[in-house]
Structure 1
């Protein structure tokens, strides 16, 4: 074999023609990684009962087998299939992991690694007949395995290396007369290659650079906010300095007038005496002039500082543009079109269909859409398993389809599209569908569900096909039958933070929906407010923002109608604060707003949905997306977070998922409220006072008495708190900034939800006129400051009733 050229070796090894080079390249990249993943093999060799290592080895071999069959490397596929059978026996404890079989498996893994190397030279490795027979012998009778076959690919490796050397040496034996033309051609090729030079960079390095770029953007935003605050302070200082200069100028004029008026008229009439020669006048005048000069210097310094900050703002603006271009460039380096997988997926369907004697057509919709390279690589194996299952389990044979009145060829449709911050891949076939009863029986036999459990719907039972080892196939083939494929799918998708679901109708087909997060580092977002919290919503999820009459929204929520008619269109509307915290829109929000913002959500399902928020707090901003981590990644409706310029963390919402889980969140909130009502019997007191000392002393005193205490620093703050909670009592001050106590009490007494809350007004205004006005508004009691603790407790006990236990510790 070593005397042959490399070309002749390639031709002899691929009897049925060379495979698609793109598919072969993808398979080799994947296979090299899987065959070199020795950590699971080492874990298994150390502990043969390690189920995690066994299942990982089983999935890897399942993936290698499928890829090898796709590139017609039958030797690799056959060996991987038999190795997978042995590992399956280990998982189910049907065969013991003897020393001999461990040696056989290690030899088989070594053969696979050598086979992948040979395949990289485009030479198809031969079938390892001895290893396959030994594995089959162990499967039939474990005790009959006595010797380990010495089957190696070292001879083929050496032959390939010698053939490559011989092929390379041929270029040195060219006639010298051809050298000038060869050099010229080589130079031209080098020039064209240099203009389109490509380099390979590891995905981890790109990810690290994107993270660094994101951190840089966050730091720039914080500096930008600091410079903006500094500019405002300097402008305020400039106004103050200008006011100081004007005051000094007026003081100088006034000073001169007063001194002149005090000078004796006789001295003024004396032409030899100058008033400026008076010591008092001279010193005051000099001091006034000095102050005026100092004020003028301050004005100049202020102008200089203002110019410097303006220059810094201009530089930050240029830095922002550069940062955006850098971020876009890094992100684009990770985006690849889905069409890269198209040849591979088409080949899988074609090859599997030929082996099963079926006629199947694959249609891929929106294949030009781009997605993250990492996600595309990681979903390749799950998509292959799903397509194999669709051809094997889903599509019927030609004769069966014709008898059922279907077209001769089965159809599989793979659609890729984007919904909000998710990539949605939908795989649909027009085959036989899923036999729900067969899945139920298999799940019962494996102990996954109880035989007498009738609470599960057919849709719920279908999801059990993703469990490891659950297969309704009657026989095990190299294509399917062990229940490993769908386990690979759900495992990989969950690691990406996505989800997979299936719907099916018996006799008409099945539809698998895979939802994956769109992992971008930067996103354009809109900042909104719900109650007292702020959230970011990606602009890609928003169709438009409209303003709606608050009374119309309030009536809609009260009526519990399914949809709200707006602009001749029916919308299903939800209130963001109700979804997140369970608090409904109340009359205070309605009375204090002329209109409320409604976000129309982009949705491809055809349903018109909208989300109401309390305020659009910011226009389009660019946020750096930070993952939530494993602890918080499963929260529905929250896709990521971002760090704002002031260092605070803001959650990024996924509106599609949020609306999809809105009803579930509503039910959970109701249950939590009911449970909380059973557990908590403490009364909640709202303390409203502009004095920090009074708030702190009063809240600590009430907490010692066993109350839950909420505090508000003024009337506006109190109104915001009352939008989200209903306290059992309000302790209210009168004189406060922005909104005084009389206005707060009036708002409370005119609100249907709050008007029954007892109010005790505690104030330093003890005059009869203030007391009468408070009682006219509807305040229950009136106390002066400083109050006596026992007197306050008595009044609270009287108003709250005998149901609240009060103890006096003071």
Structure 2
């Protein structure tokens, strides 16, 4: 059984490899395939070939091998020519490999030869006729090319490193001898190495160091340190493929020091050194199992909150027990005193003594010589002993309760770690959903003769797996709708001055706890007159149509049976689809909106929340009704003074320091029709008076006035099932530990429709004095979400932030005159990566004085060492500590 599981997992991996191949080949007839794409395609085909052979899927292995050979033939050409026919043949071959994989998945041991000869062989024969066969000469040329590049890197990682380490060991001696001779010798040796490897700039650098040292009469140590830095920088450039950027002229840097861990701005504890293979092992898990785990974890979260509540109750009961024991102890003291007085005869006339038996020998003694005991004595003694035993039990309870509370606190850390990892496991990048969209759009373009390009932005945005799967049909329908309704025919586009090829853009981003996905086309836009005409045909009142706003008209396209298409087609025009799209989005507790500009295009915006996730919320009270607000939606909590509440232009504002922002009374905003009777709480609110929640809307703020604040808690979001639509701004509910169901509010969704940025900007009043100009930082990262997160962090710290999507974009902005005082840069980026940016930017005279901080997911010492050798000022691995990053930036920019 285990072997079969492994085989099925390989077929899943083969599907991923085929996606890589298809993505690289898509559109190859109109654009050149880069060397990196060729390498990726070759690796994917090679992996399928080898893996399928190991698993016993011989047919899959054979055809993957043949496909790999065709790719090698193309790569052997200096400029491979691929037309639409060859592209179609390649894509068809990928489809057939998928079908073969599907047969094996269904349990087939062999593939029918008749099917192969009819469906698969003609495709590969067509490729053979158009591309040709892989000859031994072509294989040898590819091998020698790859080996040549690898050997150059290998030599620079070994030979050059050996020379530099030897030189560093000489410099580290208290009184180094023959330092000049050693550097001269190494300069000649490395110069000859550069000539052998055809690296002329590196050879000229070695010659420049040799000449500089030969003419120097003093400062040999400084020259040696600068030379080592220059050689290491050149070595790093060769390793990362930027040998053309090597500076051939040696410049002495008197401030140069040999990089060590002690001189870095990041402490050793912050550096994550890799001691094992960087290849991460993966295990495929079904989405249903993840959903089940998430449900169980949600139940566990409710149980944990319930346990916390029970512990609080136990602590309150224990405190009450202590109070009762103290009162009982007081009563015991009074009883003991009363008994002593009775025994000594002071109260004999008040309390008669009853004796069951008379002891004659007591008559021989006086009261001072022998105590007399009555029936009251054993009773009082028993009460006092019982009180003492209760005190012992209470002390034991206190100890055990404290230990339980400590255990619960310790388990919270493990609980949060499990939560974090489970959330990561449930999140998948958007590219998993839309990977097949480019192929689908290409097929439509060829079938209907309408060239359309698909652009994707934010493809790495991670979305809950359940939502991602549910978004497939709505997004695919919107894509087809944009192609059919939105994009005009090439002739019409030319008539209005547009390029014949249309463009559809899919973008994704995360805003707080929501994912926003937009599908935008550059077509003619939605014809509002057609909507009015169709509304009239469907019987809508003329007065209503005349008074309808643009948004009202656009919302009609989501009504069942509504369509403005003149002709019905396989893609659209049948009056079904958009209403289903809206229904499916609403089932995810999401929302869809549409905007359009005549002649410029249409944009559909889908906003979806997470349906089941653990989040931290603030529990607030409005009109005796308990509500939950996500903590990440709150900028601050303010206890207002009367002087802070200001009336201005008919609006209520809150004054905080020198700023005014609108103040909303949530009880009036929600317009709760009746007083909600909340059950009695066992505890008291954390803040038992009105509190203002400061909410960010874009770059501005709004204050929410609530009546009480009941504390912060981690809860599970539950969707509200059924046909009842939640009011605007409500995204679900949660269940507290005591079983109380509490609605969840998203303030941004609640307020945004009524407070657009334009209104907020005009309502803002600032009496603050002009502040000093803050330093400008450039954030370079290919992920728009990472850039936004960093920008938010840096802007809060007072910096001005510029952004670049990769190293090439950053260089172009800097060359156009963008002035910055610091740079934060990722390593892995398209076009020009972080190493390439360092190699080119630090060569410039201006760039040498600007600190560059590397922020990357690569935590290995090798990656860090190369970055530092290329001129980076500090190196951080993700996730980073915000405080340490800001401290490092402040230190570097001051220096």
TM range (shorter): 0.5 to 0.7
Deviation at 1:437, TM superposition (A): 0.8
Describe the superposition over 1:222-243 as per-residue Cα deviations: whole angstroms up to 9, x where unpaired.
2332232122212322233234
Q: What is aligned with 1:445? A: 537
**What does residue 426 of structure 2 align with?**
334
Q: CA deviation at 1:621?
A: 0.9
2:507 corresponds in structure 1 to 415
Secondary structure at 2:734's aligned position in 1?
Answer: strand
The Cα shift of 1:205 comes to: 3.2
> How far apart are the structure 2 equivalents of 1:608 and 1:162?
62
**Residue in 2 aligned with 1:434?**
526
Deviation at 1:272, TM superposition (A): 6.2
CA shift, 1:214, in A, is 1.6
- For the pair 1:198 / 2:283, whether they are aligned, the reply is yes
Structure 1 equivalent of residue 830 of structure 2: none
Deviation at 1:657, TM superposition (A): 2.8
Instruction: Give the one of 552, 575, 579 matched to 2:665.
Output: 575
Aligned to 1:238: 322
Instruction: Quickly say closer, same or farther: Cα 1:414–1:550, change in 2 above 3 A.
Output: farther
* Cα distance, 1:474 vs structure 2: 4.0
How far, CA to CA, are the matches of 1:263 and 1:583 in structure 2? 70
CA contact (8 A) 2:692 2:703 kept: yes
Q: Report the equivalent of 1:658.
A: 750
Equivalent residue for 2:851? Answer: none
Give the distance between the partners of 1:578 and 1:384, measured in 2 at CA.
Answer: 41
Q: CA offset at residue 342 of structure 1?
A: 4.8
Report what 2:291 is aligned to. 207
Tell me how far apart the structure 1 counterparts of residues 104 and 488 of structure 2 sit (CA, whole Å).
Answer: 36
Aligned to 1:120: 102
Offset of residue 515 of structure 1: 1.9
Aligned-residue Cα RMSD (Å) equals 4.6
The question of 1:626 aligning with 2:711 is answered no
User: C-alpha distance in 1, partners of 2:665/2:89?
Assistant: 51
What is aligned with 2:176? none
Matches within 5 A, 1:603-752: 603-604=697-698, 606-618=699-711, 620-660=712-752
CA distance in 1 between partners of 2:414 and 2:89 (Å) = 45
Does residue 219 in structure 1 map to residue 303 in structure 2? yes
Query: Is the Cα–Cα contact under 8 Å of residues 611 and 718 in structure 2 kept in the other structure?
Result: no
Tell me, yes or no, if the aligned pair for 1:225 and 1:646 is still in contact at 8 Å: yes
Alpha-carbon distance, 1:381 to partner: 2.7
Distance 1:356 1:565 in 2: 60
Seen in structure 2, the aligned counterparts of structure 1 residues 263 and 498 have a Cα distance that, compared at 3 Å, is closer
Whether 1:597 aligns to 2:691 is yes
* Whole-angstrom CA distance in 1 between matches of 2:739 and 2:620: 18
Q: 2:58 — aligned with what? A: none
d(CA) in 2 for partners of 1:459, 1:629: 28
- The answer for the alignment partner of 1:262 in structure 2 is 346
* Residue aligning to 2:466: 374
Which structure has more RCO (C-alpha within 8 Å, separation ≥ 6)?
2
SS in structure 1 at match of 2:732: strand
In the alignment, which residue of structure 1 is the partner of 2:395? 303
**Cα pair 1:20 1:71 within 8 Å, conserved:** no
User: Any stretches of 5+ residues in structure 1 without a counterpart?
Assistant: 1-16, 26-68, 77-113, 124-152, 164-191, 265-269, 586-592, 664-810
Q: 1:375 & 1:22 partners in 2: Cα distance?
A: 29
Cα distance between partner residues in 2 of 1:527 and 1:73:
57
Q: Distance in 1 between matches of 2:557 and 2:89?
A: 25
Which consecutive unaligned segments of at least 5 residues does structure 2 have? 1-19, 27-43, 45-87, 106-110, 122-276, 349-362, 676-686, 756-895
Which residue of the partner structure matches residue 626 of structure 2? 534
Tell me by how many angstroms 1:646 deviates: 1.8
Does residue 561 of structure 1 match 2:658? no
- 1:577–1:584 Cα contact (<8 Å) kept: no
Gap change, CA 1:351 and 1:451, over 3 Å in 2? farther
Please name the residue that 1:252 is paired with.
336
How far, CA to CA, are the matches of 1:353 and 1:232 in structure 2? Answer: 71
Change in Cα spacing, 1:596 to 1:225, as seen in structure 2 (3 Å) is closer
Distance in structure 2 (CA, Å) of the matches to 1:306 and 1:628:
42
Which residue does the alignment assign to 2:221? none
Q: CA offsets, 1:545-593, max 9 Å, x none?
A: 223234654x649x742755544444333211112345899xxxxxxx9
Shift of 1:258: 5.8
Q: Secondary structure at the match of 2:722?
A: coil
Q: Which moved more, 1:461-470 or 1:403-412?
A: 403-412
**Alpha-carbon deviations, 1:616-665, whole Å to 9, x = none?**
221x21012222211444332222222222222222122223225779xx
Q: Is the 8 A contact 1:579 1:662 kept in 2?
A: no
Measured in 1, the distance between the counterparts of 2:694 and 2:90 equals: 48
Q: 1:495 to 1:473 in 2, by over 3 A?
A: same
Q: Is residue 598–residue 610 contact of structure 1 (8 Å, CA) maintained in 2?
A: yes
2:524 and 2:120 map into 1 onto residues whose CA distance is 53
Please give the alpha-carbon distance, in whole angstroms, between the structure 2 residues aligned to 1:535 and 1:502.
Answer: 31
Report if aligned partners of 1:211, 1:521 keep a CA contact under 8 Å in 2.
no
Q: Distance in 1 between matches of 2:458 and 2:655?
A: 33
**How far apart, CA to CA, are the structure 2 residues paired with 1:511 and 1:161?**
41
Q: Where do 1:67-466 residues align within 5 Å?
A: 120=102, 196=281, 198-201=283-286, 203-253=287-337, 255-257=339-341, 259-260=343-344, 262=346, 273-275=366-368, 277-280=370-373, 284-353=376-445, 360-396=452-488, 400-401=492-493, 404=496, 410-447=502-539, 453-466=545-558
**C-alpha separation in 2, matches of 1:634 and 1:22:** 45
Please give the TM-score of this superposition, normalised by the length of structure 1: 0.52
CA distance in 1, matches of 2:97, 2:553: 42
String of CA shifts for 1:404-443, please: whole Å, max 9, x gaps: 4556764443332334543221223333211111222233
Cα deviation for residue 400 of structure 1 reads 4.9
Give the drift of 1:495: 3.2
Secondary structure of 2:599 counterpart:
coil
The answer (yes or no) to whether the contact 1:548–1:595 under 8 Å persists in 2 is no
Structure 2: how far apart are the matches of 1:119 and 1:488?
A: 33
Compute the displacement of 1:162 (Å).
Answer: 13
Residue 615 of structure 1 deviates from its aligned partner by 1.7
State the alpha-carbon separation in 1 of the partners of residues 25 and 406 from structure 2. Answer: 49
Partners of 2:558 and 2:578 within 8 A in 1: yes
Q: Matches of 1:504 and 1:411 in 2, distance apart?
A: 15
CA–CA distance in structure 2, aligned partners of residues 70 and 575 of structure 1: 64
Structure 1 Cα separation of the partners of residues 329 and 375 of structure 2: 20
d(CA) in 2 for partners of 1:442, 1:461: 11
Measured in 2, the distance between the counterparts of 1:360 and 1:569 equals 48
Q: Cα 1:194–1:571, aligned 2, differ >3 Å: closer, same or farther?
A: closer
Change (3 A) 1:195 1:399: closer
Aligned partners of 2:559 and 2:578 also within 8 Å: yes
CA contact (8 A) 1:444 1:451 kept: no
